[in-house]
Amino acid sequence: MEMREVCYTMEAALEKAIEMEAKSFDYYRNAYLRVKDRVAKDVLKELALEELDHKYRLEKAFFEESVSLHESGSATGPSMNLTLMLEERPLDSNSTDQDVMIHAIHEEKRAVDFYGKMAEQCGGAPLEKMYRTLAAEEQDHLTRLEEIYEKHYLQEM
């Protein structure tokens, strides 16, 4: 997705963020239906519900003065940067649980990058805080996925 160096209006910014959250929800819902590993399934379900909550809060913000998002409260560490070493492949009917996890890690990294870039472009504007909060929440998701990936798959390498 190409991004221009602009800070969008409140409405346009919300539309972009809603679109991103809807895409993430759809991905996690579909991945949930594909995977067999119980731990991965539980995490994908939890992430799908969190993305749905983000989308709801962003849609609600159209009618309010501010965007009500939870501050990221997880005490997760920085990313392991697994996207640098894990090749993302399109998912198909032969995809393994590991393939789904790799794809999810890349999805979250794209969301972190998107919201981080939007926060930079809106530096000093009221929307900067919303984008920073969303970036932090997506970073929490990324870190959780990376931790699960490390526990289940990196030990096999």
pLDDT of residue 75: 46
Closest to 59 in 3D by CA, of 19, 9, 108, 6 = 19
- pTM for the model: 0.78
Calpha distance 69→127 (Å, rounded): 12
pLDDT digits (tens, 9 = 90+) for 66-117: 655 555 455 455 667 787 778 888 777 777 888 888 988 999 999 999 999 9
pLDDT digits (tens, 9 = 90+) for 129-153: 888 988 998 999 899 889 888 888 8
Q: What percent of the chain stands above pLDDT 90?
A: 19
Closest to 118 in 3D by CA, of 2, 1, 3 = 3
List the domain boundaries for the chain. Answer: 18-69+84-156
Calpha distance 67→51 (Å, rounded): 15
4 pLDDT band, cuts 50/70/90, is: low
* Cβ pair 155, 147 in contact under 8 A: no
Q: Which CATH class is domain 18-69+84-156?
A: mainly alpha
